[in-house]
A and B are shown apart, each in its own frame.
Chain A
């Protein structure tokens, strides 16, 4: 069966510090991978998605970036965090078919910027 791991579960970082959140998927090949941010009381905001190694599509201009160095590894990064980067970050995967595919989420990282 497929599993998705996301870490850390919680993170407290000072403004201006770098960020690296990692997500790995097991039990499937060539998944579509996604990074979302969820603000309290709001829907999930798609940040990045990837259909293959090294292929990243950005949905929202911001100081975050994503990379996919391996088939089942997705990394969210920032060189300098802003207060507005606080939130709940979720990684997800889906089967490599367009549309009609549910997404499977990790348990998220609660990021607090001080």
Chain B
């Protein structure tokens, strides 16, 4: 069955460092991969979308890579700040479908 794996252990980093979160998937050939941020008690907020034919996409301090051979996406936050502390969800989408599949997310803590 289709499966998305995100590191269930929280990631703790120091302010100013680069945070790198991993999303691995199996039994799936997504056309698009999305990253969302979720704060406690709130709904997820869309951050970035990357297509299968794109290797990298950037938005301000965020960078996403998509390796369809490794079946993996990496999400980077450079110059991290305490305000970046949240849970980050990876989501996969197939062309023509409505069934986006979400990972369980990785909790990020950025210490001042």
Contacts and interface: CB of A to CB of B under 8 A. Distances in A.
Contacts of B98: 32, 34, 49, 51, 57, 98
Contacts of A99: 31-32, 93-97
Contacts of B1: none
Contacts, number: 62
Main secondary structure of the interface of B (DSSP, over half): loop
Interface in B1-49: 4, 8, 31-32, 34, 41-46, 49
A23 to B, nearest CB: 11
Given A99-B31, A107-B43, A110-B41, A46 B97 contact: no
Nearest to A49: B98
Contacts of B31: 99-100
Given A99-B31, A107-B42, A108-B41, A46 B99 contact: yes
Chain B: number of interface residues, binned into ranges: 20 to 34
A59 B100 CA distance: 12
Point out which of B44, B89, B95, B97 has the most chain A C-beta atoms below 10 A from its C-beta.
B44
B62 interface: no
B46 A104 contact: yes
A86 to B, nearest CB: 15
Interface of B: 4, 8, 31-32, 34, 41-46, 49, 51, 89, 93-105
Interface of A: 6, 32, 34, 36, 41-44, 46, 49, 51, 57, 59, 90, 92, 98-100, 102-108, 110
